[in-house]
Amino acid sequence: MSLEAVNLSCVRRDRVLFEQQSFTLNAGELTYLLGENGAGKTSLLRILIGFVEPAAGQVLYGGSAITHSDVRRKFNAELIYIGHKSAVDPHASAFENSRFWCAQHGVSVTQELIYSVLATLGLVGLEDIPCGQLSAGQNRRVALARLWFKATAKVWVLDEPFTALDVKGIELLERHIEAFLARGGSVILTSHQPLSHLTGWRPLELEYRL
């Protein structure tokens, strides 16, 4: 199953962000979306997952448009999206946030698995504290835990996943992405930091246009 963008164009507030973007995310491939602030990276990712309608072009998953409801369901079942907003509720704990997300996405996890993933992410002892009291980086880790829970995912769409993470956190995530690619997953991500451990990515550059 591959995610394919065909001639995508995006117009925001009468400004053309990009035109005629075509690319394919193949299994085992990492696509690194580059561009200045305001070049349209987030808009492109949001078009890819179907939140924003492109001004022209379409997004295909496994060869069919994601606007079809059957394709949409399959795509949802195999997608993890982590955006700027982390979808971590400040009133719930890291454990509860993980459980809510897994239940909502139909991912069956045991309590032990949640605790062990949170431990992997360096959140030992913080599992039951409301996330509002954790730091930005720790909140980010709670959001990123989803990448460990949903084993059926085949596509990861990550918008600035490294924001607020410390050096160890970045390395941990890069290793996890590497393992996912080796299992045949495909990843598209944006980042303003250079990738330190991951290699073999394919750049996709968006130019800032006036």
Residues in contact with another protein, counted by CB under 8 A, come to a total of 27
6 versus 77: smaller Cβ distance to another protein: 77
Is there binding between residue 83 and another protein (CB under 8 A)?
Answer: yes
Q: How far is the CB of 65 from another protein (least distance, A)?
A: 17
29 versus 96: smaller Cβ distance to another protein: 96
Is there binding between residue 137 and another protein (CB under 8 A)?
Answer: no
DSSP labels, the chain: --EEEEEEEEEETTEEEEEEEEEEE-TT-EEEEEE-TTSSHHHHHHHHTTSS--SEEEEEETTEETTSHHHHHHHHHTEEEE-SS----TTSBHHHHHHHHHHHTT----HHHHHHHHHHTT-TT-TTSBGGGS-HHHHHHHHHTHHHH-TT--EEEEESTTTT--HHHHHHHHHHHHHHHHTT-EEEEE-SSPPSS--S-EEEEE----
Is there binding between residue 127 and another protein (CB under 8 A)?
Answer: no
Is there binding between residue 101 and another protein (CB under 8 A)?
Answer: yes
The piece of 22-30, 57-65, 69-77, 114-122 that touches another protein (CB under 8 A) is 69-77
Is there binding between residue 66 and another protein (CB under 8 A)?
Answer: no
Dihedral of the CA atoms 169, 170, 174, 175 (nearest 10)? -40
Taking CB under 8 A as the criterion, the residue among 39, 79, 155, 187 binding another protein is 79
Taking CB under 8 A as the criterion, the residue among 7, 22, 27, 51 binding another protein is 51
Is there binding between residue 53 and another protein (CB under 8 A)?
Answer: yes
The residues of the shown chain that bind another protein, judged by CB under 8 A, are 49, 51-53, 73, 76-77, 79, 81, 83-92, 96, 100-101, 103-106, 130
